[in-house]
Structure 1
Amino acid sequence: MNRTIFRRAMVPGVAALAMTLTACGGDTSEGDSANADGGDTGSSENTAGDDASSLSGSLAGAGASSQGAAMEAWIAGFAGVAPDVTVTYDPIGSGGGRDQFTSGGVAFAGSDAYLDEEEVSAAQETCGGDFIEFPAYISPIAVAYNLPGVEELNLSPSVMAQIFDMQITQWNDPAIQELNEGVELPDMAITPVHRSDESGTTENFVDYLSQAAPEDWSYEVSGDWPVQGGEAAAQTQGVAQALNGGEGTIGYLDASQVGDLGVASVQVGEEFVAYSPEASAAAVDAAERVEGRGEHSYAIDLPRDTEESGVYPIVLVSYQLACTSYDDANTAELVQGFFSYLISEEGQQMAAEHAGSAPISETLRGNAQEAIDAISAG
């Protein structure tokens, strides 16, 4: 895809649904459930934990709400290996996180899209040099619906595009019925739900529609939802609330927030593929690294129009962003320690258990660690 340059968004002082996730002094009241059965916490295999045990101080990040559940698990787990470190993360959305990072407001950020050209320049200026970006959270974007009595739903890229473009407006439309033989679809209006805020989840979903259904989706790929109408909601949690709050709704959101909603299977070639961490990881394995970026950028472009069996193409790859150089040596060490933990086998397993994400590959882990090792004090 051609990476769209984002318009600058004003970062809200207080996000209505913002949450602060804290790990400090062994008190994991903000995430104790995430830490209760997090696998081999403190395992001798976790060299990141061994190195982090002597760290102390505070570290602030912000960004993608899709990473919220995973970040909660990472912060809680990191508390077990670095009890004197306080980590906070404000899930204000990808656009807000990138804006805060590139302006120097936070030490690290989470983003559902890699930096665009304008943001690359801003990051380099703020960091006083290079920056790092690598995928650490891989998750399917679920197309979730609230349709009582309909337990399974198949959708093709074309039909999905027409639904979200407000061209197909009834659930019993012949185009939907043809894909779901034997399913009794109600004569009910469809209410598409989309993100109201600039969102990497939106950009990934729109990128899928533009690649997989180009004849039915002509909008520019962007983090801003392009269609007028439907229902808008802020952040991942807001979309989930909107879907749960109204029958006949359909929307896109990180799979970790689906809950009891129905989830559509997506047509890929001649089959319909349900979302899963494994099917999402298969899409990432088929992706190519974006050329012409910094040495420590592991940005990738995903093949959304694939017809390969078993691949779920509506996948969200969420990045971690940090500087390669910080003015404060302790901040550099804290970012290194926390990032090393979240890409470790333990950290990825924590995210998989509590957010339903797909653990990154050994190759990606090695690349990310190389970038993390490049962090230093300027």
Structure 2
Amino acid sequence: MKKISTITLTLLSTLTFSQVSQATTVTGAGASFPQPIYVQWAMDYKAETGNQINYQSIGSSGGVKQIISGTVDFGASDSPMKEEDLTKNNLIQFPTVIGGVVPIINVEGIKAGELKLTGELLADIYLGKITRWNDEKIKQLNPSASLPDAPITTVFRSDGSGTSFIFTHYLSQVSPDWKEKVGAANTVKWPTSASGAAGKGNEGVSIYVGRVKNSIGYVEYAYAKQNKMTYIQLQNAAGNFVLPSQENFAAAANVDWTKAKGFNLVLTNQPAANAWPLAAATFILVPKNGADKQRSETVLDFFNWAYQKGNEQAQKLDYVPLPDAVKELVRTEWKKVNK
């Protein structure tokens, strides 16, 4: 399995925040969902500043634990923290980009985007109620597909994961059985754990699905594309079968962010006609009163720069930049830091 490594990101401190006269080192940890774009943004900053961030992709639960314990300057999580928990831990929270979680499969003869599943069928596969690819319910949706008479191997996250939260939150919305028996969380007791496989991070799940024939897993879309994984069509809340795409992620994110206290907003199963049902925002957690004011300012400088100049790179990696109006809401939230 691919080991998680510390990724050094160089940051540019500019714009509305005070300039940092000397190089500053900032540490962060958490979600693997946004790792590709954070790395790309870092490459763009490298030629412009001596500031750097050491970011560890350790999963959302790890990022939350570390920011609460004060061992990092920011935490990254795909599952938003509730307002009362933000208050309790003296944190602010804000989104950075929008993306999507996608189910991926390794079934011979099936190409990317060909197989159709409903949310209910996806839940039944992970509940262990549907165990073979040629199950009649799957065949009815895919009459022209050559589906093997082979057992389905489910792949899931071994670490506390915001990607798992998004996936299980969606399954809880579309399957009463899943909601009752499993629920939604960063870490759940997987019903198919005895016959399935667990991977650490999006990287680990991608590796397992790529190696294990007749398997199914779930990863962030950029990982699926970078690793040329076979993703599926999924039926959305409007009843339409849709493919993961920037356009369909954006359709799911067309909501009123002003009603989400502390930006606590989950974008799964939105009603728009072309909404991808597993769309998600990814979030940053920052202390209101950090141990070092200069490092706190550098963190905000970094994300402010990204808001202004990082959109193109985000789109190249199949993320959706935040709307300008949402960015302004976030900048207002930043005023609570070091005040």
Query: By the TM > 0.5 criterion, same fold?
Result: yes
Cα distance in 2 between the residues matched to 1:117 and 1:184: 48
- Which of residues 314, 325, 328 in structure 1 aligns to 2:289? 325
Cα distance in 2 between the residues matched to 1:290 and 1:55: 39
- Which of residues 200, 225, 238 in structure 2 aligns to 1:234? 200
In the alignment, is the contact (CA less than 8 A) between 1:21 and 1:75 conserved in 2? Answer: no
Q: Which amino acid aligns with 1:147?
A: V
- Which of residues 136, 144, 150 in structure 2 aligns to 1:174? 136
Shift of 1:77: 2.2
The alignment-based identity, stated in percent, is: 27
- Which of residues 238, 249, 252 in structure 2 aligns to 1:280? 249
Cα distance in 2 between the residues matched to 1:149 and 1:339: 42
Secondary structure at the aligned position of 2:286 is classed as strand
Secondary structure at the aligned position of 1:326 is classed as coil
Q: Which runs of 5+ in 2 are unaligned?
A: none
The answer to whether the aligner puts 1:157 opposite 2:113 as a matched pair is: no
Match of 2:94 in 1: 134
| Paired residue total | 330
- Which of residues 214, 223, 247 in structure 1 aligns to 2:213? 247
Shift of 1:332: 2.5
Superposed counterparts of 1:179-198, under 5 Å: 179-198=141-160
Match of 2:228 in 1: 260
Cα distance, 1:122–1:272 mapped onto 2, change above 3 Å:
same
Secondary structure at the aligned position of 1:22 is classed as strand
- Which of residues 334, 338, 344 in structure 1 aligns to 2:302? 338
Match of 1:31 in 2: none
Cα distance, 1:367–1:314 mapped onto 2, change above 3 Å:
same
* Structure-1-length-normalised TM-score: 0.80
In the alignment, is the contact (CA less than 8 A) between 1:49 and 1:341 conserved in 2? Answer: no
In the alignment, is the contact (CA less than 8 A) between 1:102 and 1:122 conserved in 2? Answer: no
Match of 2:37 in 1: 70
In the alignment, is the contact (CA less than 8 A) between 2:160 and 2:186 conserved in 1? Answer: yes
Q: Which amino acid aligns with 2:40?
A: A
Cα distance in 2 between the residues matched to 1:209 and 1:70: 27
Cα distance in 2 between the residues matched to 1:145 and 1:238: 14
Cα distance in 1 between the residues matched to 2:266 and 2:258: 7
Shift of 1:17: 2.4
Q: Deviations over 1:48-77 (max 9, x none)?
A: 399757452111100101111111012222
Cα distance, 1:55–1:347 mapped onto 2, change above 3 Å:
farther
The answer to whether the aligner puts 1:111 opposite 2:77 as a matched pair is: yes
In the alignment, is the contact (CA less than 8 A) between 2:14 and 2:301 conserved in 1? Answer: no
The answer to whether the aligner puts 1:365 opposite 2:327 as a matched pair is: yes
Q: Deviations over 1:254-296 (max 9, x none)?
A: 11111222111111233210011221121121365565x5xxx
In the alignment, is the contact (CA less than 8 A) between 1:336 and 1:375 conserved in 2? Answer: no
Secondary structure at the aligned position of 1:139 is classed as strand
Q: Which runs of 5+ in 1 are unaligned?
A: 1-14, 26-41, 125-130
Cα distance, 1:279–1:217 mapped onto 2, change above 3 Å:
same
Q: Deviations over 1:62-108 (max 9, x none)?
A: 01011111110122223344x12021101111000010001101011
Match of 1:86 in 2: 52
Cα distance in 1 between the residues matched to 2:177 and 2:293: 52
Cα distance, 1:183–1:98 mapped onto 2, change above 3 Å:
same
The answer to whether the aligner puts 1:96 opposite 2:62 as a matched pair is: yes
In the alignment, is the contact (CA less than 8 A) between 1:102 and 1:119 conserved in 2? Answer: no
